[in-house]
Amino acid sequence: MQRLKLTQKKVAPYLFLLPFLLIFAAFQVYPLIYGILISFYRFRGLAERHFVGLDNYARLLKNPQFYQALENTTYYTVGTLILLIPIPIILAALLHSKLTKGAGVYQTATFLPALTSLVVVGAVFRLLLDERGGIVNAALMAVGLAPQKWLTSAALVIPSLLILAFWRWTGVNIIYFLSGLTAIPQELYEAAAIDGATGFRRFWHITLPLLKPVAIFVTIISTIGGYQLFTEVYVLWPQGGTPGNAGLTLALALYRAAFRSFDLGYAGALGVVMGVIIMVLSVIQFKLFGFFKDVE
C-alpha cells in the first residue's frame, strides 16, 4: 500500500504536465520538425512532392530578394534595439523615482498601445503619416521642417515602422524594467547617497548593473520580434507592398513564398534560415552580456 502511494506521488506530476506536453508537442515540436523536413522537398500542389536535398537552400542563397529582406529586417531590428532599450530604461527609472507623482497613470497610458489591434493601428498610422493631411507632417511644418513622404518614399519605410514600434512597445519595455527596478534593494541607494554619490552615479553604478538580467531578456525578445516583423508591414501598406521593396522582411518573404507562390519547400528553407539567424544572434547577445560567465 505504501509503495502504491509512493508510485502515485511520482506519477501524479507527470499526469498534470501531460496536457501541456501534448499541446506543446502538437503545436510547437511537430510544426518545427515538419518545417525542417519540407525544406528538403519541392512541392507540386499540396500532395505531390519530390526530395531535392539542399536545392531550396541553394536557391535561397542565390536570390537577391533574400539579402534585401535580411538587410531590411536587420536595419529594423537594430533600430528597435536603439530605441526600445535605453529610452524605456530612463523612463522606467523616472517613473520609479519618488519625485514622479501619479506614476501608475503614466504606466497605464504607456502600456495601452500594446493592447490595441494591429489592424486598427495600421489604419490610424496611415492617417497620421499621410503625406498631405497627416498629423506627423503637420507637426514638422509647425516647427519649420519640411513634410516627408513617409509611406511613399523607400528611404522612409523603416523609419515609419520604427515610429510605430516605438509607440507600441515602449510601454511594455517600461513595465519589464520597472519590475527589475522594484527588485533592487533601496538600501543600496541609501548607502550610496550617504557616501556622496549623485543621482547619475547611483543610476550608472547600481541601477544599470542590477538591471542586466532584465536587459538581456528585453534585448532577446526585441531581437526575436524584430526578425519576425510581418504584421506591421502588411497593415501599414496594402499587402506589404512597400515602395522599392524597402519593407520586404524575412517573414514577409516567407509568407509570399508559401501563400502566393505556394513554394512550400522554399518557404520552409527560409523559415529554417530565420530560426538559425535568431538563434545565433541570441547566443551572441548572451555572450556579450556575460550570461555564460554568470552561469559558470
Residues 29, 226: Cα–Cα separation, whole Å? 23
Q: Closest Cα to residue 84, out of 179, 177, 201, 185?
A: 177
Task: Give 45's pLDDT tier (boundaries 50, 70, 90).
Answer: low
**Residue 295 pLDDT more than 70?**
no
Could you give the domains of the chain? 64-262 (1.10.3720.10)
> Higher confidence at residue 238 or residue 60?
60
**Residue 6 pLDDT more than 70?**
no
Neighbours of 148 (CB within 10 A): 18
Residue 241 has what pLDDT? 84
Q: How far is CA 154 from CA 71, 88, 164, in A?
A: 14, 28, 16
Q: Closest Cα to residue 126, out of 102, 109, 107, 151?
A: 151
Task: Give 21's pLDDT tier (boundaries 50, 70, 90).
Answer: confident
Assign 182 to helix, strand or coil: helix
Residue for grid cell 499540396:
46
Q: Among 9-18, 74-83, 105-114, where is mean pLDDT lowest?
A: 9-18
H or E segment to which residue 7 belongs = helix 2-24
Return mean pLDDT, the chain. Answer: 87
Tens of pLDDT, residue by residue over 108-156, are 888 888 888 888 888 889 889 988 878 888 888 889 888 899 988 999 9
Tens of pLDDT, residue by residue over 158-216, are 999 999 999 999 999 999 999 998 888 888 887 888 877 777 888 888 888 889 889 99
Q: With 0-12 CB in 10 A as exposed, 13-18 as middle and 19+ as buried, what is 82?
A: exposed
Residue 2 has what pLDDT? 52
Rounded to 10°, the helix 264-288/55-62 angle is: 70
- End-to-end Cα, the chain, rounded Å: 44
Assign 54 to helix, strand or coil: coil
